[in-house]
Amino acid sequence: MEKQLAPPPGALAGLRICDFCGQLAGAGATKWLAAFGAEVIRIEDPVREGRWDILRGIGPYVDERRGLEFGGGYNNHNTGKLGVTINVRTERGKEMLTELIRQSDCVTENFAAGVLERWGFGYEQLKAIKPDIIYVSNCGFGHVGPYSSFKTWGPIVQAVSGLTFSSGLPDQPPAGWGYSYMDHTGGYYMVMAVMLALLHRQRTGEGQWVDLACTEAALTLHGPTLLDWTVNGRPSRREGQPHANRNTSPPMAPHGIYACAGDDAWVAIACRGDADWARLSSAIGDSWTDQPAYASLEGRLANQDALDGAISEWTASRDKFEVQRRLRRASVPCSAVQIPGERVDHDPDTEGLWPTVTHTAMGEVRVDGLPVRMSRTPWRIETGAPCLGEHNEAVFGRLLDLSVAEVAQLRAEGVV
Amino acid sequence: MTALTGICVIELASERIAFAGKLLADMGADVILVEPPGGDPARGYPPFLDDQPGPDRSLWWWHYHTSKRGVVIDLESAEGRAQLQALVAKADILLESEPDGRLAALALDYEDLRQIHEDLIFVSVTPFGRASPNAAAPVTDLTILAGAGSAWSCGYDDHALPPVRGGGNQGFHTGCHFAVMSALTALFYRLTSGEGQFIDVSLHAASNVTTEAASYSWLVARQTVQRQTGRHAAAVATQGTQMLCQDGRWVNTGVPPRSPAEFGFILGWLRELGLEDQFPDAIFLEIGAAMPKPITYDLIGVDAEATAIFIAGREALALIAANVAAYDFFVGFQRRGVAVGVIYSPEEAFEDEHFRARGFQTEVTHADLGRTFRYPGAPYQLPASPWRISRPAPKLGEHDAELLQ
C-alpha cells in the first residue's frame, strides 16, 4: 500500500541471535527472525558435523548429489542464517561461545530439556554472562513437569496434545496430521515468545527465560472443545466423533470433501447457512435440492449422510476446478483439494510465496516464503542455509577478533 | 508491567481473527472488540453453557475473546465511524478481516486511518490477501485447508476415503499466528523507528507454508507426497506407526526401534508381561540387543538379519500394545528414552498430570453467573511478563459506556 521511501529497513536489524535451533520446530522460528533482518548465528557441532539436525543430510535433493550440504528441508528452514561450528566440549570452545552470548540479544534452542545446562550454559550461566539475555527454550514437554525428560518429535507432540485424535473420520483410526503441524506451529509460538520477550526487554531492561512446551502450545488449539468438557462435562471421545470434515461450531451442512472426476481428485464445499444452500442449489440446478428435508439447517444436519451422498453424485463426474469455478462464481465457499504442484506452480494466490535462494553448495533452490506483506519492513529471503561452518572466518573474525590463520588453527585443534 | 502493557488493539469482530486478538489480550494488551449492532454471529456458535443458547453463553465466544473489552459500533452510520476513528486515534494496532472492499467503501481503510494516526499498525487478515483476484470468494476453515495443501496430506492409506481436514479451525489459527508474529515484529520496529505500517496476511498463504515436506518436496525435487494413515504424507510409502492398545486407545510408536538398548528393553518388557512364548521371533530381539551399534535404514530390506531384527521389533511393539493400556505403553517406553506417544483426546490431554503440574488449567470466574470454570492456559511461560486471562469474554456492549463518547 505504501511506496518504499528508502531501501527497506529490516524490522529486526541490529538484533543478534545466538541460535542452536534445528529440525523445524526451532529452525522455523529463527528463519522468521533472519527474514526480518536479525543476525542469526546458527551454531553447530563440528564433531558430529551438525547431524543432530537430522534434516541436514536427508532428501528431497535438488540433484544426484548427497551429503550433509544437500538436505532440501534443512535448506528450507535455515535461509538467511550464518553458520558457525563450535565444539563446546573444549575449554576454548566454551570461551568462544561465552563471548558470542555476551554480544547477543537472545539465545534460542530446541534440544531435549537440560542439554544446554549440561554444557554449562543453563539460564543462570547465561544471565551471568549477559544480565539481560533472553533465553527461549522449545521442547516437547517443556523443562518443568513429570514428562520433562520425555522425548518427542512432531507426531508425538500431536498425539499427546489431542491434535491427532481430532483429525479423523468415524469408525476409522486417527488420521492425524500428514506432516508436523506442531513443528511449524511450535516455531510460530517460539517467534511470538522471542518477540514478546524482546518487547518486554525494550520497555523494562529485563531479560527472561521462556519455557516453551510444544505440547502445551498445541493444547491451546482446542478451545471450544475443552470448554465443552470443563463447563458441560461433554467429552470429545464419544460415539460418532471425531468427524473432522464436518463442522459443529458453527454447525454447517453440507460441509465436506467430495470425490470428483479423475484419480484421487476432491473438492471441499461448505454452506454457512440457508443463503449459501440456496446459491448451491441454483448452481447444481437439479430438483433433488428442492426436497423439504433440506430446506432448513436442522433438516440438512438431520439428513447429512444422504445430503453428502447426493452432492458426491453431483461432483463425481465433474473436474474439481470446474466445481470450484462454478461455486465460487455463485459465492458458495468451495475449494479444490490442491496437490502440491497445483498450489505451488499454478495458483495466482501463491505468487511471490516461493522465493529462490542461493545456496553455496546446492545452487539456486526455491523455498517456503512468508505469508505476510509488511509495507514498511518486507521480509527478505535470499540466501540459502549455511554450509557447516561456512561463516566461521567471517563471524569469528568480526565478533571474536580472530584472524583467518587463528580460525584455521582452531579448526586443526578440533575446536571449530 | 507485561510485554504488552499499554498497547491498545482494536479488533473488528470476525471468527477469522478472534484468536489473534486473544493471543495479544492474554499477554496484557488492551484489546477492544468492536461488534456490529445485534452482535457478532459467533455469539451464536455452539457449544453453549448448559446447552442453552444465548448471546453470552457461547463457549466458542468465551474461549476466543478472553481478556478483551467489547463495544457495539454501527460502522454503517456516520456516528459509528466517528466512534471507531476516536478509538483508532488512541490505539496502536488495528486488526481486521472485513469483507473485500468494505473498509475502503466506509473510508476506514489503512490509507484513511493513517491520516488520523500516522504510526498505526494495521493488520489485515483476509482469505487470499488484499490483492487477490479471489478476494471476494467466501471461505471457511475447511475450504482454506483444502486449497492450501493441508487436506491433501491428511487422511488414510485407503485413498477411497476422502482427505481429512484436521479439527479445531487450524486454518484460521495459522493465519492468526502469522498475524500476531507480524504485529509483534512491527511493534518492535515501531519502538526503534516510530513508524507504523500496513500488514497484509493471507490465510491461504499461511497454510500453504505450513505443510512441511509437501511444499518443499515439490519445490526442490518435483515430488508429490501421498497421504498415509496417522503419519507423514510421503513420496515413497512408509510403514504404519499407530498401534491399537488393550484399552481400545491408540498410540503412535514413533520412529521404529533400531538401537541395541531399544531391542533389549522391548525384550525385557515382553518377558515381564509373560509374552515371550507367544513371540517366536524373540530370538531376533536378543540378537538386536547384542548388536554393537544401531541398525541403519539402508540395511533394512537389504541385509537379511538386520531386516529380521527390525521386523521383530515392530511386531513386538504391536504385541506389547495389545496387552497394555495406551497410557502405560506411552509412559513405559518414554521412561526408557523411547519417543512414543499416547493418542489422547483433547480433554484427556487437558486432565493429564503433566499439564496440571505445569499449571496449564486456568480458573476464570464469571461473576455474573457466580461460577468459576477451568479454561485452557498459557501457550508459553514468560515469567517476567506472565500470560493471564484478565477477564471473561465481553458481553454484548459491555464496555460501551466506558469506551464510547
DSSP string across A285-310: T-GGGG-GGGSSHHHHHHTHHHHHHH
pLDDT score of B300 more than 90: no
Q: What is the CATH number of the domain that holds A196?
A: 3.40.50.10540
pLDDT score of B189 more than 50: yes
* pLDDT given at position A259: 98
Q: Do B162 and A245 touch (CB under 8 A)?
A: yes
Q: What's the mean pLDDT in B49-66?
A: 98
Query: Radius of gyration over alpha carbons of chain B, in Å?
Result: 26
Q: What is the CATH number of the domain that holds A287?
A: 3.30.1540.10
Q: Which of A4, A212, A230, A236 to mutate to test the interface with B (most CBs of B within 10 A)?
A: A230
d(CA B111, CA B293): 65
d(CA B404, CA A378): 35
Q: How far is B156 from chain A (nearest CA, A)?
A: 6
Across chain B, mean pLDDT equals: 96
Domain match, A205 and A271 both: no
How far is the CA of A347 from the CAs of A189, B78, B148, B159, in angstroms? 28, 40, 10, 24
- Indicate the residue of B47, B216, B374 with minimum beta-carbon distance to A72: B216
Contacts within 8 Å (CB) and 24+ apart, A93-99: A93/A415, A93/A416, A94/A119, A94/A120, A96/A396, A96/A400, A96/A415, A96/A416, A97/A18, A97/A43, A97/A121, A98/A129, A99/A399, A99/A400
List pLDDT tens digits, range B67-93. 999 999 999 999 999 999 999 999 999
Flag whether residue B211 sits within 8 Å of chain A, measured between CB atoms.
Answer: yes
How far is the CA of A413 from the CAs of A46, A331, A391, in angstroms? 11, 67, 18
List pLDDT tens digits, range A238-261. 999 999 999 999 999 999 999 999
Flag whether residue B245 sits within 8 Å of chain A, measured between CB atoms.
Answer: no
Nearest residue to B98 via CA among B84, B78, B87, B86: B84
Q: What's the mean pLDDT in B141-156?
A: 98
Q: How many CB atoms lie within 10 A of CB B151?
A: 31
pLDDT score of A1 more than 50: no
* pLDDT given at position B254: 84
Q: Could you tell me the residue ranges of all domains in chain B?
A: 8-210+358-403, 250-342
What residues in B contact A199, CB-CB < 8 Å?
3-4, 184, 187-188, 191
pLDDT confidence bin for A7, thresholds 50/70/90: low
> What ipTM was reported for this prediction?
0.97
Q: How many CB atoms lie within 10 A of CB A204?
A: 16
d(CA B202, CA B195): 23
Half-sphere exposure of B1 (CA within 13 A, CB side): 10
* pLDDT given at position A3: 44
Q: Do A169 and B164 touch (CB under 8 A)?
A: yes
Q: Is A244 inside a domain boundary?
A: no
Flag whether residue B347 sits within 8 Å of chain A, measured between CB atoms.
Answer: yes
Q: How far is B230 from chain A (nearest CA, A)?
A: 5
- Indicate the residue of B168, B197, B213 with minimum beta-carbon distance to A221: B168
Q: Does residue B299 or residue A308 have the better pLDDT?
A: A308
Domain hosting residue A406, numbered range: 16-219+351-412
Q: Do A60 and B167 touch (CB under 8 A)?
A: no
Domain match, A188 and A306 both: no
What residues in B contact A250, CB-CB < 8 Å?
41-42, 44-46, 60
Residue contacts between A and B (CB atoms, under 8 Å) = 533
Flag whether residue B365 sits within 8 Å of chain A, measured between CB atoms.
Answer: no
Q: Is A342 inside a domain boundary?
A: no
Q: Is A227 inside a domain boundary?
A: no
Phi/psi at A120 (nearest 5 deg)?
Answer: 90, 20
Cite the beta strand spans of A244-296 per DSSP E. Answer: 247-248, 251-252, 255-259, 266-270
pLDDT score of B405 more than 80: no
List pLDDT tens digits, range A372-406. 999 999 999 999 999 999 999 999 999 999 999 99
- Indicate the residue of A150, A198, A350 with minimum beta-carbon distance to B334: A150
d(CA A60, CA A70): 8
pLDDT confidence bin for A357, thresholds 50/70/90: very high
Q: How far is A389 from chain B (nearest CA, A)?
A: 23
Domain match, A378 and A311 both: no
Amino acid occupying residue B116: I
* pLDDT given at position A6: 56
Domain match, A171 and A60 both: yes
Q: Do A32 and B181 touch (CB under 8 A)?
A: yes
Domain boundary, last residue among A336, A363, A386: A336
Q: Is A2 inside a domain boundary?
A: no
Domain match, A132 and A197 both: yes
Q: Do A371 and B205 touch (CB under 8 A)?
A: yes
Q: Each residue of A81-116: b (16+ CB within 10 Å) or e? A: bbbbbbbbebeebbebbbebbeebbbbbbbbbbebb
d(CA A213, CA A139): 5
Q: Do A349 and B349 touch (CB under 8 A)?
A: no
Q: Do B63 and A227 touch (CB under 8 A)?
A: yes
Cβ contact A392:A416 at 8 Å: yes
Domain match, A209 and A316 both: no
| Omega before A386 within 30 of 0, i.e. cis | no
Query: Radius of gyration over alpha carbons of chain A, in Å?
Result: 26
Q: Is A396 inside a domain boundary?
A: yes
Domain count, chain A: 2
Q: Does residue B54 or residue A8 have the better pLDDT?
A: B54
A270 forms beta bridges with A255
Q: Do A156 and B133 touch (CB under 8 A)?
A: no
Cβ contact A286:A302 at 8 Å: no
What is residue A122's DSSP assignment?
S
| Omega before A254 within 30 of 0, i.e. cis | yes
* pLDDT given at position A2: 43
What is the domain class of B8-210+358-403 according to CATH? alpha beta
* pLDDT given at position A4: 46
Number of H helices, E strands in chain A: 16, 14
B-chain residue closest to A378, CA distance: B199
Q: Is A343 inside a domain boundary?
A: no
Domain match, A91 and A185 both: yes
| Omega before A250 within 30 of 0, i.e. cis | yes
* Secondary structure class of B176 (helix, strand, coil): helix
* pLDDT given at position A264: 98
Domain match, A331 and A380 both: no
* pLDDT given at position A8: 58
What residues in B contact A192, CB-CB < 8 Å?
23, 177, 180-181, 184, 379-380
Domain match, A211 and A162 both: yes
Across chain A, mean pLDDT equals: 96
- Indicate the residue of A141, A151, A374 with minimum beta-carbon distance to B186: A374
Q: Is A80 inside a domain boundary?
A: yes
* Secondary structure class of B351 (helix, strand, coil): helix
* pLDDT given at position B203: 98
pTM score above 0.90: yes
Half-sphere exposure of A358 (CA within 13 A, CB side): 2
Q: Do B384 and A204 touch (CB under 8 A)?
A: yes
Q: Is A3 inside a domain boundary?
A: no
What is residue A222's DSSP assignment?
G
Domain match, A157 and A62 both: yes
Q: Do B186 and A377 touch (CB under 8 A)?
A: yes
Amino acid occupying residue A29: A
Domain match, A367 and A330 both: no
B-chain residue closest to A312, CA distance: B162
